[in-house]
Structure 1
Amino acid sequence: MRSLWKLATSPASLAVLSVAVVITAALVGYTYKKPTRQRLWTTDEIVLYNGTDEGTPILLGILGSVFDVTKGRSHYGPGGGYHHFAGRDASRAFVSGNFTGDGLTDSLRGLSSVEMKSVVDWRGFYMRTYVFVGKLIGRYYDNSGNPTKYLKGVEAKAARGAQLLEKQKLEEDKLPSCNSKWSERDGGEVWCDSGYPRLVQRPFEIALTGRMSKRCVCFKEEELQRPGLEVYKGCDHLSKSCPV
């Protein structure tokens, strides 16, 4: 036993062991090189972590926050459904659905408060799900890592969107919504268990999305003279169900 111990601790054996450790570490490093601690990133740096090299992590930016999404390699790596997000900040695409060309940009210019709220919510999802590794210098953070006026503006508009959505929900809860269904064979239908279906303007919708929209509400017969109520096209005045 003592001779085996001497052999294991001999200079030659220790040298072999050291080489083995170095080789093992190199192999481990090749398999997964962790990014450095939380730091500032440039666009030229983050693009190198786009998943095309299996030996490096996959990074993703949203609103200037950078996340390590390597554990989702099957989604963010080459061939994955979200590969277009890897190695860049494509904040706009999270709500636009445009995953090509100019759609893969960090600019949110022209988006509504609701859409900006959605992007901020996506950032929250990544904060909860993946590893935050720093900030991307550019539109959202300056060279010192401080938030820019652009980021503050986005967050303020998103907060206003959240407030308006809550107000709209409270208002709409005061009026009972219609039941609805749709099938490829029969098309769509709305109906009321009690009352009659009418289309009404959604409150706050213009402020939220910049567009007008309507929803179906059930009204009692004595309420049908209220201004702003619209009968579905092709539906009888006192029908409890209407095709759509």
Structure 2
Amino acid sequence: MVTKGMEANEQEQREKQRFPPCNAEWSSAKGSRLWCSQKSGGVHRDWIGVPRKLYKPGAKEPHCVCVRTTGPPSDQQDNPRHSNRGDLDNPNLEEYTGCPPLAVTCFFPL
């Protein structure tokens, strides 16, 4: 049992490195803002990324993650014939309506 729990935790940490949570802010005056930084979600990395909705199997709602926009997909690091779009083409991701595709920050006014 402990081993399965440790494996699940390691898998969750790998997923968080691949798709770190977005920063989020809401105010009654301005509405919502989602953004990515090199430290968003408490995950330090050498890329910033763009906000996307991540749909996880079994989850009722998607959550905001930061997605790499360049290089090979995370699951194909050794593939020399990649499209240089990072993880943008992952089928579990969706762009936010009204947010430019490569924007680091998305605003959703009231």
In structure 2, what is the Cα distance between the partners aligned to 1:183 and 1:202?
27
1:203 CA displacement? 4.1
Q: As a proportion of its length, which structure holds more strand?
A: 2
Task: Give the match's secondary structure for 1:170.
Answer: helix
Cross-structure match for 1:188: 32
Look up the equivalent residue of 1:224 and give its one-letter code.
Answer: L
* 1:109-135 per-position Cα deviation (integer Å, ceiling 9, x unaligned): xxxxxxxxxxxxxxxxxxxxxxxxxxx
Q: Distance in 1 between matches of 2:64 and 2:56?
A: 10
Unaligned runs of 5+ in 2: 38-47, 70-85
What is the TM-score with the length of structure 2 in the denominator? 0.57
Distance 1:173 1:192 in 2: 13
Q: Match for residue 219 of structure 1?
A: 67
Structure 1 alignment gaps of length 5 or more:
1-162, 206-211
The alignment partner of 1:235 has SS state of: coil
1:176 to 7, 10, 20: 20
Greater relative contact order structure (CA < 8 Å, 6+ sep): 2
**Root-mean-square deviation over aligned CA pairs:** 2.2
For residue 100 of structure 2, what is the aligned residue in structure 1? 236
* TM-score normalised over the length of structure 1: 0.27
Larger Rg over CA atoms: 1
How far 1:195 moved relative to its partner? 0.5
The residue type equivalent to 2:30 in the other structure is D
* Kept in 1: contact 2:56–2:92 (CA 8 A): no
Q: Post-superposition, which runs of at least 4 consecutive aligned residues in structure 1 deviate over 6 A?
A: none
